[in-house]
Structure formats: structure tokens, C-alpha cells
């Protein structure tokens, strides 16, 4: 049997413990506001979201910019990565997508950076600006860290050696500004073999046009 007084005591303790966390979880509805009033809990509604304008910018003259992305459908799950090379005028140089099998999302982001640096070196694009929506990739590239999964260590060490001989820089961009690579990446886990495009595929044209025209995207946070 459940004793009413004990159940009520447990409820009150739970309410006061949640109230002491000082984090607003109210969704600004009248029903929730009335419930909080009945429980004598001070309401702390969430703050209004900030709206950030996100813009893709072309690289400096004489440089190539590459936008990379990786995604996993599960944790772990089917994983793919994609990258888009662009000129300083904003034109697409080439695109590439590859399926990586089953692994984790951060491995997909790491693989995208590794393949990007390898191909840039192969094509002699030594002035490279890499842009990624993965803070993990941006941080380890900036710090030249070797803290990557051991299965990727050999490839990663080779890439660190390559970028030390290049005019290389890495920047972070929100996903809203990385839509060309994201549209490629969403299809990459279903690609049977690595696919290379010298011209942008049709399903990317809208996003490429938006970037070329400096059309902003917006992020709510």
C-alpha cells in the first residue's frame, strides 16, 4: 500500500529539489504556469532564443576552401563523410563523398578532415582553408593534437605532417552555413563506392547558389 502522506512528502521533496536547480524548464504555457502556482514554486521561464546570422565566406585570393561534414545514422551506425572544394570566387572545384561503414559520428568528422588533406596534397592545393561544423576536428587541428582513436593514428600523423608543409588554416562554421557539405553527407552512407564529382550534383545547386549570393542562414540557440 502507498501511504498518502509519504507519497505527498516524496512529491514535495522532488519539486523543491528540481526548483533548487535554478534552471528554467517551463514552456511558457498557461497550464504549466498554473501548476507551478498551485505548488508554490517560483516560475522561471526559459530565455528567448538568440538568432544568429550565419554566412559562408569565400577564402582569400589564391586559396581553396573546403567544407567538410560527417554523419552517423546511429551510435554507432552507418557513417559517411563528404567534402566540397571551392575556389576563392566561390565556384565549386569538386566534391567527394564516401561511406565508412559502421562507426561513430566523431570518426566520420575525423575521416572527412583526413581525406580532405590527402586530396588537397595530391592535387597540389597547398593553400587550404578547411571549414567544419565539428568543434572536435577544429580543436585538434588547431592544436595539432594526436589524441585520436588508435585506428586513425597513422593516417592522422601523416596529415599533421602534410599540413605543416602547407599554408593551412581551419575554422568552425555552424551547420546552417555548411549546407552544401551537409546535403552531400546525408547521402554518403548509402553510397556503394567513393564518389567524386568535378561539378556539383544537382541536389546541391540551391545551397551553392545561396552561398555564392551571400544569402544568410539563421541559427536559433
Same domain, 18 and 107: no
Number of domains in the chain: 2
Name the pLDDT band for 213 (thresholds 50, 70, 90): confident
pLDDT confidence of residue 73: 67
Same domain, 103 and 133: yes
Q: Domain range for residue 39? A: 4-46
Residue range 52-101, pLDDT digits in tens: 888 888 888 889 999 888 766 666 667 778 888 989 888 888 888 888 87
Provide the CATH number for the domain around residue 71: 3.30.420.10
Same domain, 116 and 78: yes
Whole-angstrom CA distances from 124 to 37, 87, 130, 165, 212 are 67, 14, 15, 11, 24
Same domain, 144 and 194: yes
Same domain, 33 and 64: no
Tell me if the pTM is above 0.85: no
Contacts of 164 (CB under 8 A, 6+ apart): 144
pLDDT at 157 over 90: yes
Match 516524496 to its residue by C-alpha cell.
Answer: 10
- DSSP codes, 184-218: HHTTGGG-SS-EEESS--GGGHHHHHHHHTT--EE
Residue range 1-37, pLDDT digits in tens: 778 887 887 777 777 666 655 555 566 677 877 877 7
User: What phi and psi values does residue 170 have, to the nearest 5 degrees?
Assistant: -130, 140
Same domain, 32 and 59: no
pLDDT confidence of residue 181: 84
pLDDT confidence of residue 17: 66
pLDDT at 190 over 80: no
Same domain, 165 and 202: yes
Determine the Cα–Cα distance for residues 112 and 96; give it in Å rounded to an integer.
10
Same domain, 165 and 128: yes
Name the pLDDT band for 155 (thresholds 50, 70, 90): very high
Same domain, 179 and 213: yes
Amino acid at each position: 500500500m502507498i501511504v498518502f502522506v509519504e507519497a505527498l512528502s516524496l512529491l514535495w521533496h522532488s519539486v523543491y529539489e528540481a526548483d533548487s536547480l535554478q534552471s528554467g524548464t517551463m514552456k511558457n504555457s498557461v497550464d504549466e504556469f498554473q501548476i507551478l502556482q498551485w505548488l508554490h514554486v517560483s516560475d522561471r521561464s526559459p530565455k528567448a532564443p538568440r538568432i544568429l546570422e550565419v554566412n559562408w565566406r569565400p577564402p582569400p585570393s589564391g586559396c581553396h576552401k573546403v567544407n567538410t561534414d560527417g554523419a552517423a545514422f546511429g551510435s554507432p551506425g552507418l557513417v559517411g563523410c563528404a567534402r566540397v572544394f571551392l575556389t576563392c570566387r566561390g565556384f565549386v572545384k569538386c566534391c567527394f563523398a564516401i561511406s565508412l561503414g559502421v562507426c561513430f559520428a566523431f570518426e566520420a568528422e575525423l575521416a572527412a578532415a583526413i581525406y580532405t588533406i590527402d586530396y588537397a596534397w595530391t592535387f597540389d592545393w597547398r593553400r587550404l582553408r578547411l571549414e567544419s561544423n565539428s568543434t572536435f576536428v577544429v580543436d585538434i587541428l588547431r592544436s595539432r593534437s594526436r589524441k585520436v582513436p588508435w585506428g586513425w593514428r597513422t593516417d592522422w600523423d601523416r596529415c599533421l605532417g602534410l599540413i605543416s608543409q602547407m599554408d593551412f588554416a581551419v575554422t568552425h562554421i555552424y551547420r546552417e552555413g555548411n549546407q552544401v557539405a551537409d546535403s552531400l553527407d546525408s547521402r554518403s552512407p548509402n553510397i556503394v563506392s567513393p564518389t567524386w564529382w568535378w561539378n556539383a550534383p544537382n541536389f546541391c545547386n540551391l545551397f551553392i547558389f545561396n552561398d555564392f549570393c551571400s544569402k544568410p542562414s539563421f541559427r536559433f540557440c
